[in-house]
Chain A
Amino acid sequence: MVATRDESEMTTTTTTIAAENAHVDPPPRNNGARVAYWLIAPGVVWMGLFLVLPMLMIVYVSFWTQTTFKIEPILTTKSWVTFFASDTYLGALGTTVRIWLTVLATTLLVGYPSALFVGLFVKNKTIQTVLLTLCVIPFWTSFLIRVLAWRPMLGKEGAINLILMKFGIITQPIEALLFSDLSVVIGMTQIYCVFMVGPIAFMLARIDPNIIEAARDLGAGFWRIFRTIILPLSMPGVVVGAIFVSVMVLGEFATSAALSGRKVNLLGNIIVTQVGSLKWAFAAVAGVILTIVIGAVVAGLLRIVDLRNEL
């Protein structure tokens, strides 16, 4: 409410303040850079201490010596050797990549046509906003609750099996729906597809309708227009969406824990279980590998489109 007062006072007080401060020198243009450094310093220090330092610490600890219940700062590559010699850990790396690629494909498949509709076909700005808001509303429910909500959907006695049986499409409930790869993919697709829809719809909405109009006047069909105009112009949106989805899916562990019944182990799940049994060095190795994977994926995606030229 302070702002209310400030606002109303603003116009009237500017002149009086000006009179009071007549002796103050005009804008300190030359030391603007110094002011900028003071303003940015707290944020940089914060990120340095609480983001960069922890990440370096993971790399450092991954070379520590792990004994049964503690770690000692004696450098060794033993944890790394253990990781690459273990089927469980390598399997988790494989599962992570497999689930990530699947979810990336499904979010794109589910998200692109919806984004196409919202961004390009809906001309009315109000309806466009309403549709995008509808996509975002589920975000105001706890992430974990949204994950859990899939259990009564997919379970053996869940809603989907119930509906399918009622319509006589199946006679036996499909058990593979829950506690499988499929349930994890379905859950993640629902949670993350909005991050795909948003950026793509944003890019599509920026396409000049005259270009499409011109192409149509010249006799191009829908697929031709889609291939040569819409798809290339929406690529930056796809890349941004893919970066969001990739980063989040690769760092996941809760969805797989809740919907796979511990059958699907991602690198994130490995980290959680290792920390749970105080195997910090192993957790750190998994952490470093996860960081490398994420870094490679993001760098690869940025190769496709140079975002700084596009946005």
Chain B
Amino acid sequence: MQSAVMKPALALYTTLFLVFLYAPFAILAILSFQTGPEGGPQFPIIEWSSYWYQHLFGLAPPSRVAPLPIGESLFRSMTLAFMTMIVSTVLGVMSAQAFRSRFKGSGIVFYLIVLGMMVPGVLVGLGMALVANFFGIDRHWWSTAFVLHVVYTFPFAFLVMLAIFNRFDKSVEEASWSLGVSPARTFRKVTFPLIFPGVLSAMLFAFTLSYDEFSRTLFASGRDLTLPLAIYGTFAVEIHPNVFAFGVLTTLFSFALLGVYAILMSLSVRRARRIAIQEE
């Protein structure tokens, strides 16, 4: 292989690829420090300031730019993501556990579950709105939108748990059973602690996907806006750097979330290692 030429060329290409991935975000972060309220979302930077960050928290003096309706929508999005995370993870663990015994019809059920992450949000959203209209159900973020969020995130949780169970050492459970421990108790005391890292990943998936999800929410959530819907609302009108400032803050929040996940993960890995050493 002509690695001597190919490798540097591909390395350069990959670097450019990463620049392509990150450049818009860098520009966005820079422009979020544009002066306000007269500075627009474009270059040049008239003056560096944290005006739009203050604007976001309602600390800036009132101006013609309406503040983003983030307070309540942020609360709704967090609540929705939390509810979705719990239900999806529980359903995911239960279904993956069921798939460990090859029951009849498991092939079809597998595709049914995976379908949930494949069908575009705009379609299920439309369908759910039609179903709600048909049965005269009111649409709310905590009802019709919530069930769709679970439809979307449950398959991810399911696949993560399936992968975990595939590498699971069955003999630990069998040992517990043969000692006469009931299956339910075995699950709680033996299986669950062992699959806990997988559960954490499933929870992280479900939370972040739901938190950012909006095409399903758009038709199914009724009047009250979730956070992505509030951002979507700014598409129609002129955008101001406050959206950019908000983007920077949400990204920092996501990293904080990712940090918590990493800490929990390393703790549980370390715990598993400690136990392995004890057993030896």
List chain A residues, Cβ under 8 A from B158.
43
Q: List residues of chain B with CB within 8 A of the CB of A39.
A: 94-95, 97-98
Judged by a CB distance under 8 angstroms, whether A264 is at the interface is no
B115 contacts across to A, CB distance below 8 A: 47, 51
Q: Can you sample 15 A-B contacts with CB below 8 Å?
A: A17-B189, A26-B177, A36-B101, A39-B94, A44-B112, A46-B147, A51-B124, A53-B127, A142-B231, A150-B24, A221-B2, A252-B120, A271-B123, A280-B130, A287-B122
Q: Name 16 extra pairs, CB < 8 A, besides A39-B95, A143-B212.
A: A6-B193, A50-B147, A51-B116, A53-B131, A134-B18, A138-B21, A141-B250, A146-B25, A148-B234, A148-B247, A151-B239, A152-B24, A152-B27, A248-B120, A258-B235, A287-B123
Contact call A3/B133, Cβ cutoff below 8 A: no
Whether the Cβ atoms of B122 and A271 lie closer than 8 Å is: yes
Which residues from 252 to 302 on chain A have a C-beta closer than 8 Å to any C-beta of chain B?
252-254, 257-258, 268, 271-272, 275, 280, 283-284, 287, 290-291, 294, 298
Top 6 nearest A-B pairs (CB, nearest first) are A251-B120, A54-B127, A140-B254, A145-B247, A39-B98, A18-B179
- In the assembled complex, the CB of A3 is this many whole angstroms from the nearest CB of chain B, namely 5
Closest to B175 in A: A14
Contact B177 A27 (CB under 8 A): yes
Chain A CB count within 10 A is highest, among B1, B24, B25, B181, for B24
Closest to A15 in B: B179
Known contacts A46-B154, A159-B27; A6/B123 CB under 8 A: no
> In whole angstroms, how far apart are the Cα atoms of A131 and B14 in the complex?
9
Is A210's CB within 8 Å of the partner chain B? no
**Interface status of B192 (Cβ within 8 A of chain A):** yes
Interface size on B, residues (CB 8 A): 103
Tell me, in angstroms, the Cα distance from A40 to B99 when the chains sit together: 8
A9 contacts across to B, CB distance below 8 A: 189
Which one of A75-83, A85-93, A110-118, A231-239 is at the interface? A110-118
| A268 B10 Cβ-Cβ under 8 A | no
The answer to whether A57 and B94 touch (CB under 8 A), given A121-B6, A142-B247, A247-B118, is no
In the bound complex, how far is the Cα of B161 from the Cα of A52, in angstroms? 23
Contacts of A33 in B (CB 8 A): 101, 103-104
Q: Is the C-beta of B91 less than 8 angstroms from some C-beta in chain A?
A: yes
Contact of B122 among A110, A221, A272 (CB under 8 A): A272
B90 CB to nearest chain A CB (Å)? 8
Q: Which segment of B46-54, B55-63, B78-86, B214-222 sits at the interface?
A: B214-222
Chain B CB within 8 A of A13 CB: yes
Partner of A117, one of B10, B94, B239, B258: B10
Interchain CA distance A7-B268 in the complex, whole Å: 10
Shortest CB–CB separation between residue A32 and chain B, in angstroms?
5
Per-residue B-contact encoding for A193-218, CB less than 8 Å = 1, 0 else: 11000000000000000001000100
Interface flags for B233-275 (1: CB within 8 Å of A; 0: not) read 0110001000110110011001101100000000010010001
Contact (Cβ within 8 A) B255 A140: yes
Interface of A is mostly: helix
A contact residues vs B (CB 8 Å cutoff):
3-4, 6-7, 9-11, 13-15, 17-18, 21-24, 26-28, 32-33, 35-37, 39-40, 42-44, 46-58, 61, 110-111, 113-114, 116-118, 121, 131, 134-135, 138-146, 148-153, 155, 157-159, 162, 190, 193-194, 212, 216, 221-222, 225, 247-248, 250-254, 257-258, 268, 271-272, 275, 280, 283-284, 287, 290-291, 294, 298
Contacting pair B246 A54 (CB below 8 A)? no
The answer to whether B121 and A251 touch across the interface, beta carbons within 8 angstroms, is yes
Binary interface encoding of chain B residues 182-212 relative to chain A, with 1 for a CB under 8 A from any of its CBs, else 0: 1101001110110010000000000010001
Q: In chain A, what residue has the closest Cβ to B155?
A: A47
With A121-B10, A152-B41, A272-B218 known as contacts, the answer to whether A145 contacts B123 (CB < 8 A) is no
**Given A140-B255, A145-B231: A46 in contact with B14 (beta carbons within 8 A):** no
CA distance A10 to B279 in the complex (A): 12
A10 & B193 in contact (Cβ 8 Å cutoff): yes
Q: How far is the CA of A46 from the CA of B115 in the complex (A)?
A: 12
